Structures are given as C-alpha cells and as structure tokens.
Structure 1
Amino acid sequence: MVYIKDGLLRPVSVFRHIVVLLLLNHLRGGQSQETGPPQLVVAMLGDDIILPCQLEPPMNAVSMTMEWGRRDLEPRFVLVWHDGQELLTDQNKAYKGRASVSINNLTLGDFSLRLSSVKISDSGTYRCYFPKLNKEYLVELLVGAASSPAISLAGIHKATSGVMLDCRSEGWYPEPEVLWLDGEGNLLSAGPPETVRGPDDLYTVSSRVTVEKRPSNRFTCRVQQKNINQTRETHIYVPEDFFVSPSSCSASVAMSVLFGLMFALTVV
C-alpha cells in the first residue's frame, strides 16, 4: 500500500525510479529487435532538432517504459520515460534541460526526441529503446559547423612574379577541404592546407596559392564539408598591375596600394 504523504511519497518515488533503471540495465545486454541501419540526422551547431522514433504499428505508448540513450556515454541515459512522466534520475548531465518528448505524440507511438541548442559533442549514435516490446531504433546525429573564409595578400612570388593569396576560415566541423578556383571555375594548384583543431572541437583551416594573370583575374577560395552539405566561398579580384616583375617600379607602387584597390566579396 502506498501512502501519499510527504514522509512516504518521496521514498516510494525514488524506489520506483531505481526499479526502472535496474530494469533498463538488466535488459541492456539482451538481444533487442533492431529496425535496420541508423537513420542519419544532420544538424548545424545551435539548432533545435528532432531525432525520430516511431513505433510500427502505432500504439499508445504513454504508459510504457522507454529510453533514449547513447552507449558511448556514462551514464548513457539521455531521456527515460516511465508511466506517463520523465525520470530525471541518472540522466546524463549534458542533456539536462535540453531533451524532451511530446506526450501528445506518445499517444500515437511517436517517441521522437527533441534536442535544443545542439553541440558538437552531441554527435553520435542514439538508441530509442522499448524494453516491453524488445524493440530499438537507432539514429545517427551529426552536428556540423561552417563559416565564410577570408582572403588576404601574402606577397609577390619572386620567381614567377605571381601574386600569393592566403585563405583562412575558422569554426568548422567536421574537418573541411579547401579549394582554389579561377574566374572560369578551373581548379588551381595549391599546397596542402594547414588544419588546427581547437579545444571546442572546431577546425580552423588555411591555404596559400600563387596565382598568375588570367583573363578575369578573379579568384575564389572555397571551403566545403560534403558530409554536412555546407560550402562557403569568398571571391577576390586582383588588378592586372600587380602581375609584373617584382624588380620594377610599377611593382613597388602596386604593392603599396594593393589593399586600397583589391576587394573581396563573400558569398554564403
């Protein structure tokens, strides 16, 4: 018999939470019925996103015990639902206040997880698990980040009289690639980019190219990450006067006014 009094309700509630967690941990090692390969969800840093989980056939799941978790975390629990409410006991602290489900959707067997303000560290494989039905659904979340590059003058190449351009872009995830193109869209040969990964897990990439005079003298630095379908470009125009012998007077004058004549246009 359960007494709903301040002195007894709290211990009973804690006991119920412990029983549910013990049940989930007991079934953890068992064989559950998987529904196929993980479904991929791609999000950008800071987005609010939904990780789908739909019972088939649909049924009212409000009173069921269900779990969202990640096996690579300790504790692994992102969200646990039992008997019409969330259980916050043993929830991974990284998800406190950011993970939720819709009780209205649960009446239709929809246990989709809403994550707010996603972080790079949220990337991973999530498991939606129904122990009573012995079913699990896997979702792979990839959180990306992108930013526009900036082009700057690095100098005049002494041997070729070409103009050296630097491109730098900060705040990418996963690691992107850098391409240089001329005004006609042809790829230019450049050295390998330099990549630095910061303490926030975001990448900074930089690349240098030496360009020769072209019909348009327009050049593009393109930074892209195909896994998250993100591309950022910056275009620059180099006046023809800069493509001269570095020993000439014209070159000296050109270098002194380069930043006043050269302009860049950023395209997102």
Structure 2
Amino acid sequence: MFFIMEKPLIFCLFLFYWHFLYALFTVEAPQSLYTVEYGNNVTMECTFPVHGKLEFRDLSVIWEKKDKLKKQVYALLQGKEDFESQDSDFKGRTKLFKENLNLGQSLLQITDVKLRDAGLYHCLIGYGGADYKAINLKVKAPYRSITQGVVSTGDNEWKLTCQSEGYPQAEVLWQNREYEDLTHKANTSYETGRDQLYRVTSTLTIKSRTDEIFFCIFWNKELQENTSAILHITDSVDGVVRTESRRFIGAILIVTALLGSVLIFMLSISKATANKDNRTPVDSSSIAKLPNDKDTCDCRYASFEEEELKSMQVEKT
C-alpha cells in the first residue's frame, strides 16, 4: 500500500484501482538500475499499456523519490503538469517527454545530476488502472581531473602535490619510475568540498635528481576505478624564468634607446633655436655630447594551484 502526500484524491484513485483493476493494468520498468556520472543527465523509463489513442485527461504520471520522506520529483495529474508540489531538490531539473506517452512510455529526464539524487524512485501510472515500479539510481563521481604541483625546496629535495575531487573517498598511491611504492612517504588529507564531493590532496616530499618522473594514482575502491597523473621533475622551469627575464630586459633597453633618441633630438632643436636667436655662430665642437649610459636590470619571474543502493523487492498486494 502507498499514499501520496497532499494528494488524497489521487491516493483514493490509486487505492481503488489497485484492488479491482490490478490484473488488467501493469507498469513495467525495462531497466531497474541506472548509473550516471555526477553532473551528467539521466533519463529513466517505465512503461504502461495504451490501447488506441491516448486520452491525456485520463492520464496521471507521478515520479517520487523514496527517502526518509517522499519527495515528489514530477507529476502529471489528469493530463496537466503540477510543479507546485515538486520538491525543491528537483526544481528546474526535470522533464517528461510527453510525445512518448502515446507509446506507453514514461521517460523522465533529470539534468545536472547531484550526489543527493542517488536512491530509490517510484514510477506511478494511473490510466484506467494503477500500478507502479521501483527504479534505483546510482551516482558516481570519478576523480577525473588532477591538479599537479612540483616545487623545489632546495638541496635536490622536491615537494610533489596532487589534488582532485570525487566521490566516494579515494586512496592516493605514489610510485616512481620503477613503480616502487612510495605511498607511506606521502601525506594525504581529505575535506568535504562542493555538493558533498571529497577534495583529496596528497603531498610527497622526496629527494630526487632532475629528469625524473613520479606517478600519483587516485584509487576509487567502490567504483573500481583509478585515475593517474605523471609529475616530471625537470629544470625546464628555470629555463622559462631565464627566457622571461631576457625578454623583460630587452624591452627595457629598447625603451631606453627610444627615450635617448627623443632627448637628443629635443636638445638639438633647443640649441639650434638658441643659436639662431643669438646670431652667434657656434662651433660644432662645442655641442655637448650625451653620455651613453647602459641600463641594466636583474629581473626574475616565478610562476607556481550512495548511499549504497539496496535493491528493493516491491511486493504487490
């Protein structure tokens, strides 16, 4: 037996049909379990019998999520959509493909899936009879993107960092080029990030020569998935610093030369004007020469950032 909160009329309708027309009307679920990746869309389906042309005014479709309390995900009551009773968790994220109802298909799409969307759903159909089916939704969040950092602490010692977000909590493994396990030397921390995702940060401090590689591996045991990143210790970072410095110094020298040329030109005009006014010939040897100073600059640039689902056997009475 079941009931629909704040919908006593619909409850009575379902209760009546359940007892007398159950054998004539059956809802089916082609797929009882859906697995979707966090942030993606999912479309769940249940089917019901349609004989002849579908009469929308006689059709009611309700999707509910079975938490401690029922959450109305979507409702089409006697052919009209009802969003007033929709749970806030699903506002603006659900769509029923009405064109498929003529085929006896109730296709519900949930967009931008969250971790909290995981759980047990009921697809209820009332159309000359009443029945429902239970469907499980599982949400996974693999550690897809790994942010890396390689910092020299001096004396051939390096701090290697890997950070990623996912769910459930992952273990971080470290290996060198020879695939030796260095995990025991690493420090790994966990914190809850956005939308219940885990933000996992792991740091390995180790002595190593340049041109060496290390691997950090995020192992998601529950999903049996792993994502890895390669960290390369190289002196190319110093090369970038030198390149940027040379470009900066060159720019200063060019600007200095231009300013010098302008200054010489202005002084020449000033002296020529003075000579003309005084009408006194000036010997070219008396023109003061500007000193040719060379500007220098020592610049450096541094750049271092389900609930476990249980299958629910629905017994019909």
* TM-score normalised by length of structure 1: 0.64
The equivalent residue for 1:53 is: 46
1:134 corresponds to which letter in structure 2?
A: D
| Match among 145, 148, 152 for residue 146 of structure 2 | 148
Within 1, Cα distance between the matches of 2:50 and 2:209?
63
| Cα displacement (A) at 1:73 | 6.0
| Cα displacement (A) at 1:186 | 4.9
The verdict on how the C-alpha distance between 1:175 and 1:152 changes in structure 2, with shifts beyond 3 A counting, is same
| Match among 165, 168, 178 for residue 174 of structure 1 | 168
| Cα displacement (A) at 1:230 | 6.1
1:225 and 2:215 are equivalent in the alignment: no
| Match among 65, 68, 72 for residue 67 of structure 2 | 72
The equivalent residue for 2:302 is: none
Within 1, Cα distance between the matches of 2:195 and 2:152?
28
1:120 and 2:115 are equivalent in the alignment: yes
Contact 1:52/1:112, CA 8 A, preserved across alignment:
yes
Within 1, Cα distance between the matches of 2:233 and 2:214?
8
* Count of equivalent residues: 222
Classify the secondary structure of the residue corresponding to 1:174. Answer: coil
CA RMSD, aligned part only?
Answer: 4.1
The equivalent residue for 1:136 is: 133
Within 2, Cα distance between the matches of 1:165 and 1:110?
53
1:148 corresponds to which letter in structure 2?
A: I
Within 1, Cα distance between the matches of 2:219 and 2:71?
33
| Cα displacement (A) at 1:37 | 9.0
Give identity over the alignment, percent: 22
Alignment of 1:9-28 (within 5 A): 19-20=9-10, 23=13
1:129 corresponds to which letter in structure 2?
A: L
Contact 2:141/2:166, CA 8 A, preserved across alignment:
yes
Contact 1:165/1:210, CA 8 A, preserved across alignment:
yes
When Rg is computed on C-alpha atoms for both structures, the one with the higher figure is 2
The gaps in structure 2 that reach 5 residues or longer are: 1-5, 241-317
The gaps in structure 1 that reach 5 residues or longer are: 1-15, 240-256, 263-268
Alignment of 1:94-113 (within 5 A): 94-113=89-108
Classify the secondary structure of the residue corresponding to 1:19. Answer: helix
The verdict on how the C-alpha distance between 1:58 and 1:25 changes in structure 2, with shifts beyond 3 A counting, is closer
The equivalent residue for 1:243 is: none
Within 2, Cα distance between the matches of 1:201 and 1:219?
30
| Cα displacement (A) at 1:211 | 4.5
The equivalent residue for 1:247 is: none
1:260 corresponds to which letter in structure 2?
A: D
Contact 1:149/1:232, CA 8 A, preserved across alignment:
no
Contact 2:176/2:215, CA 8 A, preserved across alignment:
yes
Deviation sequence 1:126-185 (CA, Å, 0-9, x none): 22223634331312231526432323337479xxx764423222x323322322232355
Within 1, Cα distance between the matches of 2:224 and 2:34?
13
The verdict on how the C-alpha distance between 1:25 and 1:196 changes in structure 2, with shifts beyond 3 A counting, is farther
Classify the secondary structure of the residue corresponding to 1:111. Answer: strand
1:209 and 2:238 are equivalent in the alignment: no
Deviation sequence 1:176-201 (CA, Å, 0-9, x none): 23222323555433346211113631
2:45 corresponds to which letter in structure 1?
A: P
Contact 1:51/1:139, CA 8 A, preserved across alignment:
no
| Cα displacement (A) at 1:111 | 0.9
| Cα displacement (A) at 1:61 | 8.5
2:118 corresponds to which letter in structure 1?
A: S
Contact 1:149/1:233, CA 8 A, preserved across alignment:
no
Decide which moves more: 87-96 or 220-229.
220-229
